């Protein structure tokens, strides 16, 4: 599939599609923003989001329900709040558009379009994809505009989250370090799309495997109780959860999610 098609509308020219100097610049930014020390500051907000999910689960006690759908809501809120400083409702609309664009992209992975004719005869998917692309861009620009006007209540000019770091590069006077508004939009929608899909899949796969192996559950539960007690986990406590960490690593080895395969296919 050509990157000029649906995949480019979904991913643009972001970290996973860039090469050379562009890749190095954005990779350095991502490393800084999602470094262990930076992630520590996000733990309270992540814990709050998980607490909300667990409260919803109490309503289904003793009943069967779709936890995967709730994992999608959880990752939506966590990414919106910790990486972009927006509320769940602000991020929800972007996620819905990214999800629809992803579905269209997957549907057309093997579609062959002929040069010249493609401009004369446009499919419904192409029209819808362009509409979604514009919608995603406008929604992200709205978040940026809100941040620039200082409506987020950030202590610093643009904030220390991922969007804030991108905006600092956007306003960087050194052209060797700066990025364009289009590059910034590409990075934001890539994190929304790829980050949301892969994390949701990992959570769902992990719960499935734990259900099949109660002994893993027991070991992980004992470790969590030992280091966290009945309180919300702190960053220091999380760092000591070796059994939980090793379990997640093993689960990743046992399953290569369809999203990883999909992303590999469209950028190969």
What is the DSSP secondary-structure string of 172-238? -S-TTT---HHHHHHHHHHIIIIIHHHHHHHHHHHHHHHHH-HHHHHHHHHHHHHHHTTSPPPHHHH
pLDDT at 30: 66
What does the alpha-carbon distance between residue 199 and residue 205 come to, in Å, rounded to a whole number? 10
What does the alpha-carbon distance between residue 221 and residue 215 come to, in Å, rounded to a whole number? 10
**Percent of the chain scored above 90 by pLDDT?**
17
pLDDT at 32: 61
CB 98 within 8 A of CB 192: yes
Q: Average pLDDT for residues 122-132, to the nearest whole number?
A: 87
pLDDT at 6: 56
What does the alpha-carbon distance between residue 265 and residue 267 come to, in Å, rounded to a whole number? 6
Task: Decide if pLDDT at 18 tops 70.
Answer: no
Average pLDDT, rounded, for the chain: 78
Q: Average pLDDT for residues 151-159, to the nearest whole number?
A: 58
Q: Average pLDDT for residues 156-166, to the nearest whole number?
A: 74
Task: Decide if pLDDT at 192 tops 80.
Answer: no
pLDDT at 19: 62
Is 0.75 topped by the overall pTM? no
Least reliable range by pLDDT among 55-64, 146-155, 171-180, 243-252:
146-155
pLDDT at 265: 44
CATH topology of domain 6-201: Cytochrome p450 (1.10.630)
What does the alpha-carbon distance between residue 97 and residue 192 come to, in Å, rounded to a whole number? 10
pLDDT at 148: 81
Q: Average pLDDT for residues 171-192, to the nearest whole number?
A: 79
């Amino acid at each position: 599939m050509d990157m000029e098609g649906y995949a480019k509308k979904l991913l643009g020219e972001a970290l996973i599609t860039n090469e050379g100097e562009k890749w190095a610049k954005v990779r350095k930014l991502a490393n800084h923003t999602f470094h262990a020390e930076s992630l520590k500051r996000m733990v309270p907000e992540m814990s709050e989001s998980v607490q909300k999910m667990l409260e919803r689960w109490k309503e289904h006690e003793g009943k069967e329900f779709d936890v995967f759908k709730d994992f999608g809501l959880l990752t939506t809120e966590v990414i919106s709040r910790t990486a972009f400083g927006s509320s769940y409702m602000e991020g929800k609309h972007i996620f819905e558009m990214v999800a629809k664009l992803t579905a269209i992209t997957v549907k057309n992975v093997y579609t062959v379009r002929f040069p010249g004719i493609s401009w004369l005869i446009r499919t419904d998917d192409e029209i819808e994809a362009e509409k979604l692309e514009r919608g995603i861009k406008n929604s992200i620009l709205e978040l940026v505009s809100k941040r620039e006007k200082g409506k987020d209540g950030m202590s610093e000019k643009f904030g220390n989250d991922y969007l804030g770091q991108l905006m600092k590069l956007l306003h960087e006077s050194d052209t060797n370090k700066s990025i364009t508004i289009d590059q910034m939009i590409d990075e934001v929608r890539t994190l929304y799309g790829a980050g949301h899909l892969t994390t949701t899949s990992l959570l769902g796969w992990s719960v499935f495997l734990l259900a099949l192996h109660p002994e893993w559950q027991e070991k992980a539960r004992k470790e969590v109780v030992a280091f966290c007690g009945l309180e919300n986990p702190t960053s220091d406590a999380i760092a000591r959860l070796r059994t939980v960490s090793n379990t997640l690593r093993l689960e990743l080895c046992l399953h290569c999610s369809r999203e990883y395969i999909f992303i590999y296919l469209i950028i190969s």
